[in-house]
Amino acid sequence: MSRDDLISEREDPMPRVASALTGSLLAAVGSLAMADGLLQPHQWQSRILLIFGSEDNGEALATTRSMLDEHEAGIADRDLVVGILAAGGGRFGGRELSREECLQLRSRFGAATEVFTAILIGKDGGEKLRLHRPPTALELFELIDSMPMRQSEVRRRQRTRGMGADER
């Protein structure tokens, strides 16, 4: 038997490699699609603040939660939906998230488990800010208030309030 006969009788590993890569790619795309599916209903409606934490950075999570509680009115006024995601699960916009959903969002945004990460996403779906420390209300509000869409919202609200006062 020749060397060529031996090679042709062996199983070609390329189809298995291609199949494994395709399966991995489809799983990754599926995870991204599911993560995007959680966020997509908020596009053009709300800004999103995602807080990724773990037991290792519990103090940063506690500081952030305290800030969010203290500035509830400012957060609501800026159409900000908050997600706090830990290793075992989390909450996003008042909805409980499973461990799997949290992992999908972590993967989508490249947020490492051991690193505290805060990400602000604009109404357009673009990432506006990424911090590896607790955000302050001042820096969030100043950034949001400097955005053209927010400035347009404020002007529109002022006109609406002004019209209501004139009609009385």
Q: Which of 98-112, 125-139, 149-163 has the highest mean pLDDT?
A: 125-139
Is residue 34 scored above 60 in pLDDT?
no
Helix H or strand E segment including 35: helix 14-39
Instruction: Output the six-digit token pair for 29.
Output: 């795309």
Give residue limits of the domains in the chain: 9-167
pLDDT in tens, 93-126: 989 999 999 999 999 999 998 899 999 999 999 9
Residue (of 29, 131, 42, 30) closest to 92 by Cα position: 42
What single DSSP character describes residue 7?
Answer: H
The per-residue pLDDT for range 10-31, each reduced to its tens digit, is 555 555 554 554 443 333 333 3
Measure the CA–CA gap between 92 and 90, rounded to whole angstroms.
7
Which CATH number applies to 9-167: 3.40.30.10, 3.40.50.720, 3.30.450.40, 1.10.1740.10? 3.40.30.10
Count of C-beta atoms within a 10 Å radius of residue 64:
23
